[in-house]
Structure 1
């Protein structure tokens, strides 16, 4: 593990700056295991010294990696249950060294989870770590882990791409070669703190958007959407169950895309039509789900301003639809994206922020094929998951160049295993049916 040492940035404001709405929600829950996310990827057979130097260059490029979160001292004396005021503070990297972790006999995945549970903490200084595992055949795998307050899935790809670019692997727009053919990273990209301040300067949401949020919250009795079927007793978080199913291969995805084109919509609304149909089939009512959307939209004339930055560029919206007609699903998706185009904190202020409701249901759509950040195939990138306790349901639809997968996380109760398992199976079968996949293997959920 590369242990980075840091210090307060000279001249930084002693009180720091306001954290984003999502950063404050995340850090306000306090230090806890499983608050991180990570990416693993193959690195070339070079020395650890060169890998460490490459990581320092990446840190120098990304201002987000030179910030830490702190709880404002004034909030420590507020009554229990009061919102915690979280601030972002600037730091500088003063050095770093490699440190061995584990004895070499344990499963590296378990060692990494234990390490990141401690090191990648919302209030870590810093809240990220780089590790490198050397395999018996001499190949090496790097893993970058960081607390969620400093990154999202897109950010992980940016960090891995930049590391590989400095190490001379793959292509990187704007990377120049200096003496000896060593890539040199370009100037720093905008940090997530800049994005937070930019949001604060934006106009408030129009009346129709505020009214739409008010209706959403009223329909949910003041809470965010919940999974529409029984999850059993989730009055407190339970151990998680994470299941993954290979829904379609590349040919199946291509067929699904043709079906979407024939229906006059994109792939996501067609998938939403399947979700609505499954709800109806299970007597679960209309589809209502928290719907994360990215907030990397740059200003006019600089639409890619945040594309190469690292941070939590995600905001939450709500997707609602009660019709399986793909065109109506398309309108519902557009509505949800529009709701997520405005800062969330002022909109949810009447409800004390975004309520963390037991049984909350969220849907995420991630088409990695369309991201402007791509990794070379030889890097073999993989998402590394934390283990958490949960009281809600989260479903990710992930599309890569090898097909579509459905990943579902839910609390480990007998009722949730039954209802969420059935829901996942019907969703998978519905997507396969539209794609015309007749001879697919039975749905095999892999934990």
Structure 2
């Protein structure tokens, strides 16, 4: 593991600045295991000194990696139940060194999970770590973990791209060989990119959301009885978080996704509204009512004249909206998606202020759509980037549709109760069957790999390859 040392930035405001709405909610829950996200990727055969230097250059490039969060002292004397006030502060990196973690005999997935649980937490100084796993065949895998306050899925790909670029690897260079980054390197990076803290302050300066948006949110909250949308089928007793169950299903291979996109084109929509149509159909088949789900949307839209301002930045550039639809007509689903994106185009805190922020909702249901093929961040295929998942306890249901160049996967996380295993398992199987049915029999699903659909308690299939020791 590469251990960095930090200090307050000279001239920084001693009180820092207000954290974002999502950062405040996340950090307000305090230090706990599983608050992080991480990515693993293959790196070229270079020395640890060079890897450490590349990581320092990544930190220098990203202002977000030079910020930390603290709890505002006023929160400590606030009445019980009051929201935690969180501030963000600028720091500088004063040094760094490699440190060995583990004795080489343990599964690196366990070692990494324990390491990230201890260090990649909301108030870490800093709340990120870069590690290297050495394998028996001489290859190495880098794993970067950071607390969710400082990153999202898009950010993970940015970190991989930047690390490889500073190691002299680009799309045309390949991970197996290494060249010095020079003027004719296939990847050229700006020396620095804006910090997520700048994005938060920019949101604070935006005009108040129009009345129609505020009224729409009021209707959504009224329909939910003052709570966020919940999974429409029974989950059993989720009065307290339960151990998680994670299912990862290979839905369609690349040819299947291409066929599905053709179906969407014929229906006059893109792929996401077609998938929403399937979700509505499944709800109807299971007598689960209309589709209502929390729907994360990205907030990286830059100002006029600089739409890509935040595209290369690291941070939690996600805001939550709500997706509602009761019609399986793809055109109606397209309108519902547009409506949800519009709702998520305004700062969330003022909109949810009447409900004290986002209400804690046992059984909350969230849907995420991540099409990595469309992101403006390109990573060499030979790097084999993988999300590395924390183990958590949960009381809600989260479903991710993830598209890569090799196809579509559905990842579902839910509480480990007998009822949830039955209802969520049935729901996800129906979703997969209906998506496949749109393109079958002409195109099948990833070779019909039903072994990938089983429930996986605790760990997921998105883990770090190899079982060798870790080099820190």
Q: Could you say which TM-score interval applies, normalised by the shorter chain?
A: over 0.9
Q: 1:153–1:331: structure 2 CA closer, same or farther, 3 Å change rule? A: same
Residue matched to 2:175: none
Q: Residue 437 of structure 1: CA displacement?
A: 3.9
1:333 aligns with 2:337: yes
1:419 aligns with 2:423: yes
Residue matched to 2:27: 27
Question: In 2, Cα distance between the equivalents of 1:201 and 1:180?
Answer: 40
Which secondary structure state, in structure 2, belongs to the residue aligned with residue 315 of structure 1?
A: strand
TM-score for the superposition, normalised by structure 1: 0.97
Residue matched to 2:84: 84
Q: Residue 436 of structure 1: CA displacement?
A: 2.1
Q: Residue 75 of structure 1: CA displacement?
A: 1.0
| 1:383-404 deviation digits (Å, cap 9, x = unpaired) | 1000000000000000000000
Residue matched to 1:15: 15
Q: Answer whether contact 1:167 1:183 (CA < 8 A) is retained.
A: no
Question: In 1, Cα distance between the equivalents of 2:38 and 2:206?
Answer: 31
TM-score for the superposition, normalised by structure 2: 0.92
Where does 1:81-230 land on structure 2 (aligned, <5 Å)? 81-171=81-171, 177-178=181-182, 186-230=190-234
| 1:226-257 deviation digits (Å, cap 9, x = unpaired) | 00000000000000000000000011101100
Q: Residue 170 of structure 1: CA displacement?
A: 1.0
Q: 1:339–1:22: structure 2 CA closer, same or farther, 3 Å change rule? A: same
Q: Answer whether contact 2:167 2:180 (CA < 8 A) is retained.
A: no
Q: Residue 188 of structure 1: CA displacement?
A: 1.0
Q: CA RMSD in A?
A: 1.7
Q: 1:310–1:437: structure 2 CA closer, same or farther, 3 Å change rule? A: farther
Candidates 230, 233, 252, aligned match of 1:248: 252
Bigger RCO (CA 8 Å, 6+ sep)? 2
Q: Residue 178 of structure 1: CA displacement?
A: 4.9
Q: 1:73–1:269: structure 2 CA closer, same or farther, 3 Å change rule? A: same
Residue matched to 1:277: 281
| 1:191-249 deviation digits (Å, cap 9, x = unpaired) | 00000001001111000000000000000000000000000000000000000000000
Where does 1:347-426 land on structure 2 (aligned, <5 Å)? 347-426=351-430
Q: Residue 187 of structure 1: CA displacement?
A: 1.9
Which secondary structure state, in structure 2, belongs to the residue aligned with residue 74 of structure 1?
A: helix
Which secondary structure state, in structure 2, belongs to the residue aligned with residue 232 of structure 1?
A: coil
| 1:119-178 deviation digits (Å, cap 9, x = unpaired) | 001000000000001111111100000000000000000011000000011149xx9945
Which secondary structure state, in structure 2, belongs to the residue aligned with residue 373 of structure 1?
A: coil
Question: In 2, Cα distance between the equivalents of 1:61 and 1:171?
Answer: 20
Q: 1:183–1:350: structure 2 CA closer, same or farther, 3 Å change rule? A: closer
Unmatched 5+ residue regions in structure 2? 173-178, 457-472
| 1:304-354 deviation digits (Å, cap 9, x = unpaired) | 000000000000000000000000000000000000000000000000000
Q: Answer whether contact 1:428 1:443 (CA < 8 A) is retained.
A: no
Which secondary structure state, in structure 2, belongs to the residue aligned with residue 435 of structure 1?
A: coil
Which secondary structure state, in structure 2, belongs to the residue aligned with residue 88 of structure 1?
A: strand
Q: How many residue pairs were aligned?
A: 445
Q: Answer whether contact 1:394 1:410 (CA < 8 A) is retained.
A: yes
Q: 1:181–1:396: structure 2 CA closer, same or farther, 3 Å change rule? A: closer
Q: Residue 435 of structure 1: CA displacement?
A: 1.6
Residue matched to 2:41: 41
Q: Answer whether contact 1:252 1:437 (CA < 8 A) is retained.
A: no
Question: In 1, Cα distance between the equivalents of 2:183 and 2:413?
Answer: 49
Which secondary structure state, in structure 1, belongs to the residue aligned with residue 144 of structure 2?
A: strand
Q: Residue 111 of structure 1: CA displacement?
A: 0.3
Question: In 2, Cα distance between the equivalents of 1:43 and 1:313?
Answer: 27
Residue matched to 2:75: 75
Unmatched 5+ residue regions in structure 1? none
Question: In 2, Cα distance between the equivalents of 1:79 and 1:389?
Answer: 27
Q: Answer whether contact 1:28 1:84 (CA < 8 A) is retained.
A: yes
Residue matched to 1:346: 350
Which secondary structure state, in structure 2, belongs to the residue aligned with residue 40 of structure 1?
A: strand
Q: Answer whether contact 2:168 2:181 (CA < 8 A) is retained.
A: no
Q: 1:6–1:180: structure 2 CA closer, same or farther, 3 Å change rule? A: farther
Question: In 2, Cα distance between the equivalents of 1:360 and 1:87?
Answer: 27
Q: 1:20–1:176: structure 2 CA closer, same or farther, 3 Å change rule? A: farther
